[in-house]
Amino acid sequence: MNLRASALVLGLIVVVAACSTPGGSGTPAPVGSAPDVTASDDAGASNAPTPTAVAGSGFCDPANLYAEVISWDSGAGHRTATVQLTNIGTVGCKIHSLAKPQLVGGDGTILMQGSTPTSTSTLSLDSNDIVSTMVQDANYCGSAPVAPVTVAFVFPSGEGRVIANPVSPDDVDGVPPCNGAGSGGQIEMQPFAP
C-alpha cells in the first residue's frame, strides 16, 4: 500500500471515530435523523421486554372482582338475589363457576352459609367481562341482622372471598322468613354465566 492510500485510510478512520456517539453503537446516524436511544445511552431506559399476563392463565385476584346485588325477589318463603360479577382488573383471568355462597349482615356476620362446591368448572373473564348468578336462601331464624344484608362468594382452593355491594345501604330484603327453627337455613347459588 502506498503512502497516499495509507493516509486516506487513516483519514477515514478519524472521520468515522469523530462521527460516532460515545457509548453508542459506533455507527454514525444518517444526516437529518435522531440517533436511536438504547439502554447504554439513557440509564433510565430499558430494552427488557415488559412481562404481561396471559389472559385466562390464572385465577382472578378477588381484589379485581366487583360483585353487586342487582335485585332481590321473594316467593314461597325464599329470597332470590340476582348478582353480577365484573372483572375490573386489567388482564383476563378465570373463576370457578360455583363458589360457597353466604348471606352476610352489614356488620360482617355470616347469617347463612352454603356448601363448598364439588364442581371444578371454570369461566374465563377478560377485563371488564360481566357474569351473573342467582342466589336463593330460605328459613332464616336468627336474630335481626344489621343492614345492609348482601351475599358473598367464597371461591374454592383458597382463591378468596368476594362480598357483593348491597342493593341499598338499608337493604334487608334478602332475609327470608323463619319457616321452622329446627330445620336450619339454606342458601345456594346457580353457576356464574355470561
Distance CA(112)–CA(48), nearest Å, equals 50
Query: Quick one: cell of 171?
Result: 337493604
Q: Which domain holds residue 154?
A: 62-189
Distance CA(135)–CA(102), nearest Å, equals 9
Tell me what pLDDT residue 180 has. 87
Query: Quick one: cell of 20?
Result: 460516532
The torsion of the CA quartet 122, 128, 129, 133, rounded to 10 degrees, works out to: 80
CATH number, domain containing residue 116: 2.60.40
Q: What is the reported pTM?
A: 0.70
Tell me what pLDDT residue 57 has. 64
Contact (CB, 8 A) for 54 and 43: no
**Among 2, 162, 174, which Cα is nearest to 84's?**
162
Domain count of the chain? 2
Give per-residue pLDDT as tens, 149-161: 999 999 998 899 9
Percent of the chain with pLDDT over 90: 66
> Do 142 and 67 belong together in one domain?
yes
Determine the longest span between alpha carbons in the chain, in angstroms.
113
> Do 33 and 86 belong together in one domain?
no
Q: What residue ranges of the chain have pLDDT lower than 70?
A: 1-57
